[in-house]
Amino acid sequence: MSNALHRANIRQCRLMQINRRSFTKNLLIGSLTIPALLSLPQNLFATTYIVKKGDTLSKIAKSQGTTVAKLKRTNQLKTDLIKIGQKIELPKPENYSYRDPLRHIKAQNSKIRVDRNKWEIVVAHHSATKRGNASIFDRAHRKRGMENGLAYHFVIGNGTDTEDGQIEIGPRWFNQLHGGHVRSNYVNQVGIGICLVGNFEEKRPSRAQLKSLVALIDWLKKDVTRKKLKFAGHKDIEKNLCPGKFFPLRALHKKYS
């Protein structure tokens, strides 16, 4: 055998070893990846709740549509003790559904005595922030001196601190309290505030958020208040930029006019 042929055979053997080694490595990685994905911690996709004064696990569970047992399991809590400012990871609400954004909301709302005569208008807002959820905004609003916390009645997530399009009920809706989302006292008294997470001066709301918004408004009109509700963006009521230039305000006015 010539030296050239011998060297070629050696190179071919080495290539086969490398390919076999690579295949074995990829197979091993693949075999580890599947169980690893299946064993991901339960709170990986959870939302965050920040404990405030007066909170208990049972109170948080009720307001978030979950159970104390799930909260303790998700957060690996051995007792019911929690402290102000503590971050609690939330499992998805009971009855949560990607396909039906209202499924868990309907379940939670069934426990609320809605004052149908009180509400006259739906007011849409953007948070003007890149991320957030009801709990985060609640804490910020309390720091600004709002004793009832979260100014809005509902918050629709953008995939950061809740799922994209996930609807959260705020304490004001649970307790049928007036809003704190506009300067007009009258509109706050009769207006249902809905905030979509995101800065819509910079980008458009997601399709999931808009789907949830329309579903929420239709449900509030047809099944909850059982009357025709007016619709407005925040800037329709007072001079400002909310809910942003990329929010489809004109299309929603056309739909609900």
User: What pLDDT, on the 0 to 100 scale, is given for residue 8?
Assistant: 46
The CATH number covering residue 173 comes to: 3.40.80.10
User: How high is the pLDDT of residue 123?
Assistant: 98
Claim to verify: residue 148 and residue 81 sit in the same structural domain: no
Residues 119 and 242 in one domain: yes
pLDDT of residue 165: 97
Whether residue 49 is found in the same domain as residue 17: no
Predicted confidence pLDDT, tens digits, the chain (257 residues): 445 444 544 444 443 443 444 333 333 333 333 233 223 333 334 578 889 899 999 988 888 878 899 899 999 999 999 999 999 988 888 888 888 999 999 999 999 999 999 999 999 999 999 999 999 999 999 999 999 999 999 999 999 999 999 999 999 999 999 999 999 999 999 999 999 999 999 999 999 999 999 999 999 999 999 999 999 999 999 999 999 999 999 999 999 98
**pLDDT for residue 94:** 81
Same domain, 21 and 87: no
DSSP class of 91: P
pTM score: 0.73
The domain of 9 spans 1-40
Ranges assigned E (strand) in the chain: 47-50, 87-90, 121-126, 154-158, 164-169, 191-196, 230-233
Name every residue whose Cβ is closer than 8 Å to that of residue 208 and which is 6 or more positions away in sequence.
101, 159, 164, 165
Q: What CATH code is carried by the domain that includes residue 64? A: 3.10.350.10
Please say whether the beta carbons of 213 and 194 come within 8 A: yes
Q: Are residues 77 and 153 both part of a single domain?
A: no
Verify that 101 and 139 share a domain, yes or no. Answer: yes
SS3 64: helix
Q: Are residues 52 and 121 in the same domain?
A: no
Number of domains into which the chain is organized: 3
Whether 24 and 58 share a structural domain: no
Report helix angle 68-75 to 57-64, nearest 10.
110
- The whole-number pLDDT of residue 143 equals 93
If asked whether residues 174 and 252 sit together in one domain, one would say yes
Please list the residues that pair with 191 across neighbouring strands.
121
Q: Which of 55, 71, 92 is the last residue of a domain?
A: 92
pLDDT value, residue 229: 96
Provide the pLDDT for residue 75: 92
φ, ψ for residue 233, nearest 5 deg: -90, 160
The answer for residues whose C-beta is within 8 angstroms of residue 192's C-beta and 6 or more apart is: 119, 121, 122, 123, 153, 154, 173, 179, 220, 229
Same domain, 131 and 60: no
Instruction: For residue 6, give every residue at least 6 positions away whose Cβ sits within 8 Å of its Cβ, in sequence order, or none.
Output: none
231, 182: one domain: yes
On whether both 121 and 238 belong to a single domain, the answer is yes
